[in-house]
Amino acid sequence: MNKAEKFVAEHCGRTFLSLWSYPNPMAKPGKELCDCLVVCDPDVIVLSVKEIAVTESGDLRTDWDRWRRRAIDASVKQIYGAERALKKASHVSTRDGAKGLPLPDAAVRKTHRIAVALGGHGKVPLTSGDFGKGFVHVLDERSFAVILAELDTVTDFVEYLRAKESFLQGKTHVYLEGGGEEDLLAFYLSKGRCFPTETDMLWLGPELWTTFSSDLPYRRKKDADKQSYVWDRMIEEFCECEREGTLLGNSELANMEQAIRTMAREDRFARRILAKTFLDFLAASKRKEVRARLCQSPHGTPYVFLACAKGTSREARVKELNLRCFVARDKNPDQPTVIGIATERPDQKGHSLDLVFLHRPEWTEESAAQAQQIQRKLGYFASPRVPRSGEDEYPEA
């Protein structure tokens, strides 16, 4: 892995987390697919990176054209080739030849193409667009680093890509006066994460990102988001346990990946709320005020948190968690998926985590009756207090 590939892989690993990010995957033995591949059903992100120095022949246009051919056109060619290969594949093939995650079904798959062009240092104008076989987002080192650091969940990131692609394919011309795509990102965030629907030209002044990211509302948001990374750390712990085979919950690997993926599809604001709820629950369980809590993501997914006394067998803990998730499904008739997370009460050092994925699109009268019988017999969530968040993404204080 060269320096440029390492740069992309490290940023992708932080943003998309380890289970879904594949540096240097293989198309077939001995042939690399692309520089990095992200697979988080239904999204597939194909990245190619080139680091090329700009020559100084004295003819500026010739130097720019030469750099674009080597830094951008070569990446676009690799990306389109990777997309063709993926249409024939069923799974990711890692750089060491192992089988990775299954690829999303072609009928629902959403492919995003990113060419990362390093070495231009802002000297050469970059343009994203359709190069013949699908829209490609072209980013330099600064814009790539800023965007992945800011939109550091797969949901936040792909929503920006989709919004930008739709905006630019509407024949809108964007002029970045002395800046890069980070200024377009600042405009998108400042307008409520959207672009104007009726305009044929957008002119952005210089240092828009610098101004936006130094304003007090943005700084308050970043401070509030710090707590959300508890959710990221929990996802990574689940990923590590899954790789080591120490994760208890549903027995099938596919169920575990779907459960962890559901957590990873939560955007940054949702993770903030979920992490805060989880930490509040742990504090209450430490005071022995509560054993379990039912909460709901801002996007609707119900989560069940369970904390048991140290010494409780994990098998018994998982059994209880499964039953509580079943009851929670009945209490959320419009939500087919429930995620359960169990751990020890935090009154001693050390902890373990268990994960349950309950997916029941069809909820029959028989299922409802069974859930209500469990609730009557065991008292699970008989009078639930479901936390409601009135939190703003950009807090006023």
Confidence of residue 256 (pLDDT cuts 50, 70, 90): confident
Phi and psi at residue 259, in whole multiples of 5°?
-65, -50
DSSP run (H or E) holding 201: strand 201-204
Distance (Å, whole) CA 230 – CA 393: 17
Q: What is the pLDDT of residue 248?
A: 62
Tell me the one-letter amino acid at 368. Answer: A
- For residue 247, the model assigns a pLDDT of 66
pLDDT digits (tens, 9 = 90+) for 266-284: 999 999 999 999 999 999 9
The answer to whether residue 179 scores a pLDDT higher than 90 is no
Percent of the chain with pLDDT over 70: 95
So what's the pLDDT on residue 251?
47
Look at 181-190, 314-323, 348-357, 377-386 and tell me which has the smallest mean pLDDT: 377-386
What's the pLDDT at 178? 73
From CA 305, how far away is CA 167, in angstroms rounded?
40
Which tens digit of pLDDT belongs to each residue from 128-145? 999 999 999 999 999 999
| The pTM of the whole model exceeds 0.85 | yes
What tokens appear for 299 in the block?
């996007």
pLDDT tens, position by position, 187-206: 999 999 999 988 888 899 88
pLDDT, tens digit, 9 for 90 and up, residues 69-119: 999 999 999 999 999 999 999 999 999 989 999 999 999 999 999 999 999
pLDDT for residue 384: 66
Cα of 108 vs its chain's centroid, Å? 17
For 210-254, how does the pLDDT look when each residue is reduced to its tens digit (9 = 90+)?
A: 999 999 999 999 999 999 999 999 999 998 887 776 666 654 555
Q: What is the mean pLDDT of residues 324-335?
A: 96
- Between CA 22 and CA 13 the distance in angstroms is 8
- Cβ–Cβ under 8 Å, residues 234 and 354: no
Average pLDDT, the chain: 91
pLDDT at 387 over 70: no
Q: In terms of residues, how long is the chain?
A: 397
Phi and psi dihedrals of 311, rounded to 5? 100, -15
